[in-house]
């Protein structure tokens, strides 16, 4: 038996407040989770238009604007919503492009939080919600490479990127340090002012950041997601503090620490590179000692590589990434894409979402199923692992592209075995 619809569009509270800059009629959605009501809808501030969120606690009344983290979706005229696990709301945007129709809004409900919302609630001391774009299919785990300055991380990463340009994408960090000769903005780093970066950190735009050798460095969420969205495996070159933060985040990654064969050799390489002043070299060497000690921390790094002979170290890196025999494969099969039409209805059945296309009056037989049982990640990045199944990918009028010969679609048969409640769709425009 299917669950009752998560909410209905008519469920607007009697005291639905005017005065919000949320568009009315259809552009908004109201979701009740326990004692809270979430009003989710579009605003139109010119180029800055995004979906906004207001929260009301039924016990205290009144509406608050929560701290909103993550990349906010652009408004849509048709928004459907389904509550998942009470710690997040699944948002479906009708009439949106395939890469923009599924979103998750992570919330706080009673004792239930996603780790990110929990951490940020403590940090901000406010009501916090966090957006995370839903992505069909999975992405290969990003690779975090750490190690003391001058050990050869950049050299190893460049070799990987050169040999496997379609497989890997580099996470271009932000830094407040000055560019070196031949370093290009946007390629080697996003060079930025400290005040700007600090503000972006406060806005929750960074997956991790750290003060390293007297400058601020950080990995923006956007940079990592842009690489993953391009179907590439992201490589992060970050210090040990950053690795620790990523380990604590929702980003599942492989963590590699690169060691020098000796401290003397590290110093030799740093000096030979000729990019730092004597004072900076001393600072980096001092920090290297601490980093080498921390590399031993239980559970932080999955692999430790000694970069003595470069070729040998590079071969070991490729081996642990299962690339030793590899020839780069371009255009691996991509996950199915779906255009969610403007008129659709949504029902929740366990961890599956059934979407029927068409209006209530002119119901269409076009349906597809979203399986949310293997979700991974979440704010501050993407929520991955959505699976789509469609009844008839070629003839049903939904623009669904499915790889393979169609056999994968046998799961769709299961749809007919579910009993969907008669109450109609959970929301319809």
Ligand X SMILES: Nc1nc2c(ncn2[C@@H]2O[C@H](COP(=O)(O)O)[C@@H](O)[C@H]2O)c(=O)[nH]1
Q: What interhelical angle do 263-273 and 278-294 show, nearest 10?
A: 140
Question: Cβ of residue 197: shortest distance to ligand X, in angstroms?
Answer: 10
Question: Cβ of residue 302: shortest distance to ligand X, in angstroms?
Answer: 17
Q: Closer to ligand ATP by CB, 32 or 280: give it.
A: 280
Tokens (6 digits) for 366? 């076009």
Question: Cβ of residue 239: shortest distance to ligand X, in angstroms?
Answer: 4
**Residue where the block lists tokens 């509550």:** 83
Q: Which of 178, 193, 192 is nearest to 223 (CA)?
A: 192
Which residues contact ligand X by CB under 6 A? 149, 153, 173, 177, 208, 210, 212-213, 217-219, 237-239, 241-242
Query: Is cis: bond before 281, omega within 30 of 0?
Result: no
Question: Cβ of residue 275: shortest distance to ligand X, in angstroms?
Answer: 7
Q: Tell me the backbone φ, ψ of residue 259, rounded to 5 degrees.
A: -105, 150
Task: Give the one residue of 120, 153, 174, 247 binding ligand ATP; rule: CB under 6 A.
Answer: 153
Site string for ligand ATP, 281-310 (x = CB under 6 A): --------------------------x--x
Tokens (6 digits) for 299? 């559970």
Q: Is 237 exposed, middle or buried (0-12, 13-18, 19+ CB in 10 A)?
A: buried
Cβ neighbour number for residue 342 with a 10 Å cutoff: 14
Contacted by 310, from ligand ATP, ligand X, none: CB < 5 to 8 Å by type: ligand ATP
Note whether 146 binds ligand ATP by CB under 6 A.
Answer: no
Tokens (6 digits) for 196? 């700007």
Contacted by 272, from ligand ATP, ligand X, none: CB < 5 to 8 Å by type: ligand ATP
Q: Where are the alpha helices (DSSP H) in 274-392?
A: 278-294, 310-320
Q: Closer to ligand ATP by CB, 268 or 365: give it.
A: 268
Q: What is the DSSP string of 320-382?
A: HTT-TT--PPPSPPPPPEE-B-SSEEEEEETTEEEEEEE-STTEEEEEEEEE-TT-EE-TTS-
Q: What interhelical angle do 153-163 and 310-320 show, nearest 10?
A: 60
For ligand X, the nearest residue by Cβ is: 242
Q: Closer to ligand X by CB, 175 or 393: give it.
A: 175
Q: What is the DSSP string of 22-34?
A: S--TTSEEEEEET
Active site residue 59: no
Question: Cβ of residue 142: shortest distance to ligand X, in angstroms?
Answer: 13
Contacted by 269, from ligand ATP, ligand X, none: CB < 5 to 8 Å by type: ligand ATP
Catalytic residue among 177, 269, 273, 342: 273
**Residue where the block lists tokens 């590399």:** 295
Q: Tell me the backbone φ, ψ of residue 212, rounded to 5 degrees.
A: -125, 125
Note whether 316 binds ligand ATP by CB under 6 A.
Answer: no
Contacted by 283, from ligand ATP, ligand X, none: CB < 5 to 8 Å by type: none
| H or E stretch covering 389 | strand 383-390
Active site residue 284: yes
Q: Closer to ligand X by CB, 96 or 241: give it.
A: 241
Task: Give the one residue of 151, 210, 228, 317 binding ligand ATP; rule: CB under 6 A.
Answer: 151
Contacted by 177, from ligand ATP, ligand X, none: CB < 5 to 8 Å by type: ligand X
Contacted by 28, from ligand ATP, ligand X, none: CB < 5 to 8 Å by type: none
Q: Tell me the backbone φ, ψ of residue 401, rounded to 5 degrees.
A: -105, 120
Site string for ligand ATP, 236-275 (x = CB under 6 A): ---------------------------------x--xx--
Tokens (6 digits) for 39? 């009003």
**Residue where the block lists tokens 């592209």:** 401
**Residue where the block lists tokens 């992201």:** 234
Catalytic residue among 54, 247, 284, 384: 284
Interface with ligand ATP by CB under 6 A: which residues? 147, 149-155, 269, 272-273, 307, 310, 313
Give the active site residues: 180, 273, 284
């Amino acid at each position: 038996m299917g669950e009752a619809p998560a909410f209905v569009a008519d469920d607007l509270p009697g005291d639905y407040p005017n005065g919000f800059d949320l568009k009315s009629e259809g552009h908004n959605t109201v979701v009740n989770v326990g004692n809270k009501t979430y009003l989710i809808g579009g605003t139109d501030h010119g180029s800055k238009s995004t979906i906004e969120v207001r929260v009301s606690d039924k016990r205290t009344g009144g509406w608050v604007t929560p701290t909103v983290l993550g990349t906010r979706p652009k408004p849509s005229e048709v928004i459907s919503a389904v509550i998942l696990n009470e710690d997040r709301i699944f948002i479906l945007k009708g009439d949106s492009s395939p890469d923009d129709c599924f979103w998750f809004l992570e919330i706080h409900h009673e004792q239930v939080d996603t780790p990110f919302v929990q951490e940020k609630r403590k940090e901000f001391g406010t009501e916090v919600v966090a957006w995370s774009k839903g992505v069909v299919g999975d992405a290969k785990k990003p690779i975090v490479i750490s190690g003391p300055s001058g050990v050869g991380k950049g050299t190893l990463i460049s070799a990987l990127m050169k040999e496997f340009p379609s497989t890997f994408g580099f996470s271009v960090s932000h830094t407040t340090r000055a560019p070196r000769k031949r370093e290009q903005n946007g390629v080697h780093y996003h060079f930025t002012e400290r005040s700007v970066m600090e503000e972006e950190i406060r806005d929750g735009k960074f997956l991790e950041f750290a003060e390293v050798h007297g400058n601020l460095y950080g990995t923006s969420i956007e940079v990592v997601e842009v690489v993953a969205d391009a179907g590439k495996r992201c490589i992060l070159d970050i210090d040990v503090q950053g690795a620790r933060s990523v380990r604590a985040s929702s980003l599942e990654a492989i963590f590699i620490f690169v060691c020098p064969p000796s401290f003397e050799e590290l110093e030799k390489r740093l000096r030979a590179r000729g990019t730092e002043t004597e004072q900076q070299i001393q600072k980096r060497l001092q920090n290297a000692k601490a980093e080498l000690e921390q590399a031993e921390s239980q559970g932080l790094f999955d692999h430790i590589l000694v970069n003595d002979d470069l070729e040998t170290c590079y071969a070991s890196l490729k081996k642990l990434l299962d690339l030793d025999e590899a020839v780069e494969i371009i255009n691996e099969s991509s996950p199915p894409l779906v255009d969610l039409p403007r008129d659709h209805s949504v029902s929740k059945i366990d961890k599956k979402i059934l979407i029927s296309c068409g209006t209530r009056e002119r119901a269409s037989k076009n349906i597809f199923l979203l399986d949310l049982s293997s979700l991974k990640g979440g704010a501050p990045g993407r929520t991955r692992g959505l699976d789509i199944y469609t009844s008839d990918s070629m003839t049903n009028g939904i623009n669904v592209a499915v790889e393979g010969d169609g056999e994968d679609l046998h799961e769709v048969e299961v749809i007919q075995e579910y009993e969907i409640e008669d109450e109609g769709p959970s929301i319809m425009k």
